[in-house]
Amino acid sequence: MSANKIKDVNSASRSLDLSRLLWLLLSVGVIIADQLSKWFVVEHIIKPEINGESGGGFFQWYFQEPLLTEHVTLEITSFFNIVMAWNTGVSFSLFNGMGPYGAYLLVAIAVAITLIFAYWLMRSAHWAYGTGYALVIGGALGNVIDRSRFGAVIDFLDFHALGYHWPAFNIADISITSGICLLIIVSLFFDLEGKELYRDT
């Protein structure tokens, strides 16, 4: 192999390593944003509404014994509420109420799916696929953290119109949905034939 080809291969490898690092950082960023948003809503919006007292800091909330706060609805606009909803199902309250062992089953399924997506992410050589996988991984792990702590996921965004409410959701759900939509759109509507989408790790 010529020196120029070796240089090109090394450059491509470094670029791919950087992309993987950025994708992993995106997943971590989603987890942080998801957990911070849940802490802020529970401790500084919901709790003051319940007992008139603001909650504690993030780490105090995160490491204290988890308590299931009662359901609350705060009207923000004519089409948007902040709610305190405990989702024992999956994203957007699907399969809610699966029984006492449902949380463990859903954690196991979410972890398995996350590992599959992580494998695909580490093999991906195209930014769109890597970004989609990273968004799904970050969102899935954000909800896994809730389910491991509370046995349910904190949902607080409630949009409604004409008396109909979309199931409450959170930042993790937005990330999962955005990642899946990105993967579907790229797969269906963009011609990537002939481009290298995956590489061996």
Number of structural domains the chain divides into:
1
Is residue 20 domain-resident? yes
Predicted model pTM: 0.82
| % of the chain with per-residue pLDDT over 70 | 78
Is residue 68 domain-resident? yes
Is residue 115 domain-resident? yes
Per-residue pLDDT of 57-92, as tens digits, reads 898 888 876 677 778 899 999 999 999 988 876 554
Per-residue pLDDT of 98-146, as tens digits, reads 555 666 787 888 899 999 999 999 888 788 999 999 999 999 999 999 9
At residue 194, the pLDDT reads 47
Confidence of residue 36 (pLDDT cuts 50, 70, 90): very high
Tell me the β-bridge partners of 75: 81
Is residue 148 domain-resident? yes
| Spatial contact of 140 and 153, defined as CB atoms under 8 Å apart | no
**By residue range, what is the domain housing residue 40?**
3-189
Is residue 114 domain-resident? yes
Long-range contacts of 176-179 (CB under 8 A, 24+ apart): 176/91, 176/135, 176/136, 176/139, 176/140, 176/143, 177/91, 177/139, 178/135, 179/131, 179/132, 179/133, 179/134, 179/135, 179/136, 179/137, 179/139
Which active-site residues does the annotation give?
Answer: 155, 173
Is residue 198 domain-resident? no
Is residue 53 domain-resident? yes
Is residue 127 domain-resident? yes
The mean predicted confidence, pLDDT, of the chain is: 82
In the predicted model, is pLDDT for residue 54 greater than 60?
yes
